[in-house]
Amino acid sequence: MMSHPFENLDPAQTVQVLPRHLAGPGAVDPRTAWAFPYDEGWPFAQTDDGTAAAFSPCLRLQTTYDPQPDQRGQGTWTVSAHRAPFTPPAWRITFDAATPVELLHDVHTELLDLYLEDRHSDHDRLFRDETAPHEAYVPLLTRGWSHDVKTDGTQTFLTPEGLGGLRHRYAISGSSGPAWRAWGGHPSEPHWTARFSFGTPTTLVAAFTASLISTEPLHRTVQDVPVHTRSALYIATTTPKQPHGSAPVAPPPPAPVASRTR
């Protein structure tokens, strides 16, 4: 039986792990994941069962969290953008709730950045983003990801160990499904999946991939790390387990991905 670096650690022990796509979801807190300025007119609501929603003051941006802990994927995070309030979405992003929460945080940080940039300029990058697709996937190639292009209009990038990937539909005509799809875990049964519809600003996809390949380790307890892919994880550091009966120390908030150059 293959050994892994977690086998002699207590389940409650805190570790810092890489790569990020295999770390598990982490501590889920919608307010932290979304990182919006709630004291500046961004409505936020959460029910007793954990379902949450937040909106931009203009009501053109909506983000929701629907936990389903007993289902595969553990629920859904959804981001949608509307050209006018209460109209069908112009684009949508969905993440399984099992997606590492730090990736969610970095996408929403970039989303807020785009929103504020549009608000204080004559740009409309939420709906007319001119970022080239290669800005989202070239960084993957510099980290050793493989690249396969097919004549059906898709290209696929796989992690060095094969337990994560990104698929891009570069041919739009006649296509269905998301423009971008990312996953972590075995391709046939991933731990999590993220989907970006056509029309989603490529800037947000680039923020996601930059967070995905970041070398900043993620804080997790051993018991929260997916079991089936532990042999592919690297432990950066460990911290002593908490004494019995004491509350665990919450990990520090995720560091934002560096903003793009303006």
- Whether 248 is covered by a domain: the verdict is no
**CA–CA dist 111, 130 (Å, integer):** 15
57 in any annotated domain: yes
Instruction: Read off the pTM.
Output: 0.87
Q: Which domain holds residue 119?
A: 14-239
Residue 102 lies in a domain: yes
**DSSP symbols for 16-32:** EEE-GGGS---S--HHH
Give the pLDDT band of residue 149 (cuts 50, 70, 90): very high
Domain count across the chain = 1
Which residue is listed with tokens 């796989």? 158
3 in any annotated domain: no
Confirm whether 249 is domain-assigned: no
Q: Please report, to the nearest 10 degrees, the dihedral formed by the alpha carbons of residues 225, 229, 234, 238 taken in order.
A: 20
Pairing between strand 218-221 and 234-239?
A: unpaired
**How many angstroms separate the CA atoms of 165 and 186, rounded?**
10
In a domain, 35, yes or no: yes
Region label for 86, one of left (φ > 0), alpha (ψ between -120 and 50) or beta (otherwise): left
Average pLDDT, the chain: 88
For residues 130-139, average pLDDT: 96
Phi, psi of 170 (to 5 degrees): -90, -15
CA angle 237, 241, 246 (to 5 degrees): 140
pLDDT, one tens digit per residue, over 162-204 is 999 999 998 875 567 899 999 999 999 999 999 999 999 999 9
The verdict on residue 253 lying in a domain is no
Contact 231, 162 (CB under 8 A): no
Section 62-69 average pLDDT: 95
